[in-house]
Amino acid sequence: MFSKRSFFLIALLFGFTLVARADNGGPSGPQTPIEGTVVSISQVDDLFLLLDTNGDGTGDIWIKIEHDGQLLDEAGQSISPSSIVLGMLLTLTRYDFEGSYYEVSQAVVSQGEPKGNVGLSGQIVLAFPFGNTTVLSLDFNRDGQADTVVKVNRHGLITDMQGQLLGPNTLQVGKILSIVSHTLDSEGGILAWHVIVGDAEMTAPALPTVLGVVAQQYDLAGFRYLLLDDNSGLAVAQNYLDSGGLIPIQLDGQTLLQDPEGQLLSFDKIQIGTSLDVRDYEFVEGYFKAKRVVIVR
């Protein structure tokens, strides 16, 4: 059964946004919504917000709220931009990508957590290598026009929905690309470290399990680092990680360590030879940042 918020978003996407915006060159149909929690607010002349789109507490994209933009609560009532505070959830339903930020003309303001980078998924309409990256233009709403630019790092992960490793040559026009892990580059653009490529629409990135046995572990700058012998069948260690064939895993104070029954465990339960199942993670420039880890044995 749909919640009130779900019903309102459906009505918003398939009702209001079906109206063409030919006067300003905006989208003529529903756009893929982008969700994010406000983690920073900056206002001099214009209101800029930094959004966390994957729930890890770190800002991922900047957005600008237009002066004549439409902000709505969950009931569909107009609200003032001054009502936006840190921790609020924004669902962007009309926007244009301006090179380093999203200019938003319509958004829903509510409470809750983002479901992940589902909004950052689209069809590749342009792809070319540039330096240490492959530059892609993505079409969110299937109108044939580029809505955002994404750079895929040469040392990042490119996988299919089953977690099998793919090469940069699979980043082809017409393919559907979903961003699992990304940061912002020095120019404020999207720099992706893990993307999923497929032929069909992806409603949510499916993270393949990373299995391994702890070969080494050490603490550094408040983090616990593990080096795993790869038992997962993912061909990532030898191809992308300069770690002698071992997969580096980073644990922090937010990482959930559990037994197979779901009981929470402390990090001292991890020893050399412990078998781990890393079930929720993010790939960040050479290592896996673990969010949930299960001790297999």
Is residue 10 within a helix (H) or strand (E), and if so which, with residue range?
A: helix 4-14
Report the C-alpha gap between 167 and 259 in whole angstroms.
35
Domain extents for the chain?
4-115, 120-198, 210-295
Q: What is the pLDDT of residues 189-229, one digit of tens each?
A: 788 888 889 887 655 555 667 788 898 999 888 889 988 88
pLDDT of residue 245: 66
Low-confidence ranges of the chain (pLDDT < 50): 1-30, 117-118, 235-240, 242-243
CATH topology of domain 210-295: OB fold (Dihydrolipoamide Acetyltransferase, E2P) (2.40.50)
Question: 120-198, which class in CATH?
Answer: mainly beta
Q: What is the pLDDT of residues 57-76, one digit of tens each?
A: 777 778 898 888 889 888 78
Bridge-based pairing state of the strands 176-184 and 34-43: unpaired
Q: What is the pLDDT of residues 30-66, one digit of tens each?
A: 456 788 889 888 876 788 998 887 776 777 778 898 8
> Phi/psi of residue 122, each to 5°?
-165, 180
Q: What is the rounded (10 degree) CA torsion for 58, 64, 69, 74?
A: 0
Same fold across 4-115 and 120-198:
yes
CATH 2.40.50.140 fits 4-115, yes or no: yes
The amino acid at residue 295 is I
pLDDT of residue 148: 79
Give all strands (DSSP E) within 185-274, no chain letters: 190-198, 210-220, 223-230, 246-251, 256-258
